[in-house]
Structure formats: C-alpha cells, structure tokens
Amino acid sequence: MNNTSCPVSGRFDPAAPPVIEAENLCKTFKGASRAALDSVTLKIPRGVIFGMLGPNGAGKTTLLSILCGLLKPSSGRVRVDGKDIVTQASSVKRLLGVVPQEPAIYPALTARENLEYFGRMQGITGEHLQVRVRECLRLGELKDVENQRVEHYSGGYKRRLNLVIGLIHEPQILILDEPTVAIDPHSRSFIHQRLRELHARGVSIVMSTHQMDEAEQLCHHIAIINQGKIVTQGSLDALLESQRSGSIQAQMEQPPPPSFQGVLQRIPGVLEAYLDGRCFLVTTDDPEQTAVAVLGAVKLTGIPLVSLKFGTASLEQVFLSLTEHPLEQ
C-alpha cells in the first residue's frame, strides 16, 4: 500500500528514543483463566501516528490503559518520554492526553462547561483556561453548540467533544481507544483530519482501531496484538512488505464450499489459509511451489479461477494472517 496520504512529518526522527516504551508487561485480572497481557514489549517512535490492532478481547484496551497510567500492570515497566509511569506519574500525566472509547463527558453540562471542568482538573485556571476552552471549541467545531447540554448532541458531536477534552492541556502525546467507533462517515472524516493536523504540529498519537482502512489511512507504525501478545510491530510499509513474499491471494468465480478452507490448510507447505466469500488467502514459506498444489485444489472444485497473485494487498489480509480469529466488527 502507498501511504503517501499521511506522510510522516519532518519531526519524526527514527534515531530518537521512543516516546513510549513498554518492557515485559504482564496483566492478569483476578479470576481470569489467562493473562490479559503476556510479556508485552513495545516501542512507539516519537512523532508518528501509531496504530494498535487486534481482535476483540486481544488486550488492546488493557495495554492502552497501562500505557497512560490508568491501570497498573501485574509486572513490567512503562516509560513515557523517558519517565517511569509509576515513580514519575505526575510528570507523565502532563504529557498525556487520553481519549477513551466511551465518551468521558457529563451529559447534563454544556460543551463549554465540560471543557472548563476538565481544564481545571488539569490545573488550568483563569484566562489561560478560557483561551484553551475557546481553542478546543474551535478545533472541535463546536462553537455553535457550546452552550447546549451535551445530552442533546449527536454521537458524532459527542466524539468531537471527547477528543478535544483530551487536548485541553496541550499534551505532547495523545492516546485514543477506538476514536471513531459507531459514528457517521462525516464525523469520522472530521476526526481523521484533526488527528492529521495534530500530528503535523508534533503530537505523537497512539490509537486502537478495528477498522483496517482507518489504520492504513492514518498510521505510520503498527502493532498487532493477539491473545495478550504482540505478534508483530513496525512501520506500516515494512509490515506489508514482510508479508508479500509469503502469501498467495486468489479470487474464484463463485464462493467455494466452506470445507475448501480445510482443503487448502492441508496442502503441504501451507501455514495458514483464510476463506472469505469468493476470495482466499494462503500464507506459505514457498509460494511458487505451493501455488501448484493450490491450483490443483481449485481445479477439483470445478469453480473457475478469476485471478491469482503473490503478495498481500492490504493491512486486513496481514491482520487475518497473524491473528487466530477474523476481525470482529
């Protein structure tokens, strides 16, 4: 994929220390049958939009909660801008803006009142607070509704307010958990544009998402988490390139029977096989040799093959090849 729609700003320095670094993070909740996080080590480069991807229940929200200091790990360590998130918590708090998945806003208050309240919670007072409130209302394009109670807002406007509340204290690092879930396309596009603008100003952004197109459009670096473990991390371009040499994509004239996925999986050399309607994806260490057997399996179905090519075309295909379960919407 060509990621030129969201180039890394000139502020990005690959030699710079990571803006967030996690070492051997583990988290087990009381009564759970397995760890929510299992020895997670992660480096988030400074000056990028970093995407955290994973199936439902993979550990994304738990990891983000630990990275921003809302949850303590069972073991392991997190540093934010070189500061320990436990022993230097007050310094870290000033650096971070947090936008939770469920809007953290008071519905009985207006947008202005919400911003004033959360600004005071961050220690902002007086004229400085009013300047920040006006700027956040501008960023969220909420000026026309600033004095309306939030309970009357649409879902998209609540998301906008949720975003700018996280920006009230001008954080250097913004952490967002599913910032565009369940909103209309216009509001989603609006939030995407604001995130690009913040990134261009030098804000490092970490976000989780279930939407592969969103991650491809916005993110420069990606980590995929599955069952509490990081299964891959790195730049988006490098991640896509690493998969191209080991996969076969094909499209058939009509959907084969569900049992065809098992047929593909049993071919010698096939590591994983995924079937989605008329299309399938096979990962293998020897694509050229495996392709011969794959073509033979297709022929036995009696369904004509429309196309076959080597290489992964999208982040979603990479995601499916690296996680145990298909993406849940």
pLDDT reported for residue 327: 41
The pLDDT score that the predictor gives to residue 321 is 73
Tell me how far apart the alpha carbons of residues 9 and 17 are, in angstroms, rounded to a whole number. 17
Q: Where, residue-wise, is CATH 3.40.50.300 in the chain?
A: 20-237
Quick one: which of 213, 290, 203, 279 has its CA closest to 245? 290
Report helix, strand or coil for 132: helix
Contact (Cβ atoms closer than 8 angstroms) between residue 56 and residue 84: no
Q: Which two tokens stand for residue 24?
A: 């051997």
Written as tens digits, the pLDDT of the chain (329 aa) is: 333 333 344 455 667 789 999 999 999 999 988 999 999 999 999 999 999 999 988 999 999 999 999 999 999 999 999 999 999 999 999 999 999 998 899 999 999 999 999 999 999 999 999 999 999 999 999 999 999 999 999 999 999 999 999 999 999 999 999 999 888 899 999 999 999 999 999 999 999 998 899 999 999 999 999 999 999 999 988 887 766 667 888 999 999 999 999 999 999 999 888 888 899 988 888 888 899 999 999 999 999 999 988 876 578 878 877 785 444 43
Q: For position 312, what pLDDT does the model report?
A: 61
Count of H-run helices and E-run strands, the chain = 11, 14
- Give the pLDDT of residue 3: 39
* Residue spans in the chain of domains classed CATH 3.30.70.2470: 246-310
CATH class of 20-237: alpha beta
End-to-end CA distance of the chain: 22
**Which run of H or E residues covers position 316?**
helix 315-322
pLDDT score recorded for residue 106: 97
Does residue 111 contact residue 150 with C-beta atoms inside 8 Å?
yes
246-310 fold: Alpha-Beta Plaits (3.30.70)
Two structure tokens written together for 97: 């803006």
CB count within 10 Å of CB 33 equals: 6
